[in-house]
Amino acid sequence: MGRQANILIVEDEALVAMDIESQVTHLGHHVVGTADTGPDAIKLAEAHQPDVVLMDIKLKGSMDGIEAAKEIRRQWGCGVVFVTAHGDAMTAWKAAATYPSSYVLKPFDERSLSTAIILAFVQKTISGPIDKITGEPGEPARRLTALAEIMKDHIAEDFMLLDDFERLRDLLAQLQSQTGAIANQINSLLDGISSRTMQFNGP
């Protein structure tokens, strides 16, 4: 098992929330809490600052999951995965405005959930809170170190399950564009992913 992520589940159907929690736990991650409304999700995100939020779009009350996700991403930079039965184009475009890392349609399997969690975990490591990114000396290096830990923990197992290596490569490239001081180290990670992509996909 790779590195454990702290995960918040936001789902308005109790049985579905229990099923997601069971799958997340089986994957080796830690559930910090569950919420069925947007305001409760924001409160739990503030209290626990999870790595990843698994967010349903349709929630109880007046605030939907898209609005809640936007606030959580803005304040704490959590990776957001929309887990929803709403696959229409209009909903997808609205959700895309929050810059989620993944969009998983119900019903889903454990492999799809695992991939989505890893990508969201990487997104949080690279991005951080949208309105709190600083230019402090050493910040890019700290993010790279955290990213390298995720890579080390997952590359041998979970990343081999990814269907979309290019998406992960793009996320890493975002960090590369933020700093020149550690570009060579990031390039090494990118080259490693390219090698694995070629091995995975074949010539």
Dump pLDDT digits (tens) for 47-89: 999 999 999 999 999 999 999 999 998 898 899 999 988 778 7
- Contacts for 141-146 with beta carbons within 8 Å, 24 or more apart? 141/179, 141/181, 141/182, 143/175, 144/175, 144/182, 144/185, 144/186
For the entire predicted model, the pTM comes to 0.67
A 10 A CB-CB count for 38 gives 25
Beta bridge partners of 34: 9
In total, the chain counts a number of residues equal to 203
Kindly state the average pLDDT of the residues 101-119: 86
Per-residue pLDDT, 85: 87
DSSP E strands in the chain: the ranges are 6-10, 30-35, 52-55, 79-84, 102-105
The three-state secondary structure class of 195 is helix
Q: Hey, what are 56's tokens?
A: 């349903």
Q: What is the rounded distance in angstroms from the CA atom of residue 22 to the CA atom of residue 202?
A: 35
For residue 130, pLDDT over 50 is answered with no
Place of tokens 């957001």: 80
The three-state secondary structure class of 31 is strand
| Structural domains present in the chain | 6-124 (3.40.50.2300), 135-201 (no CATH)
Q: pLDDT band at residue 181, thresholds of 50, 70 and 90?
A: very low
Identify the residue with better confidence: 113 or 193: 113
Q: How far is CA 130 from the centre of its chain?
A: 14
For residue 202, pLDDT over 90 is answered with no
Kindly state the average pLDDT of the residues 86-98: 81
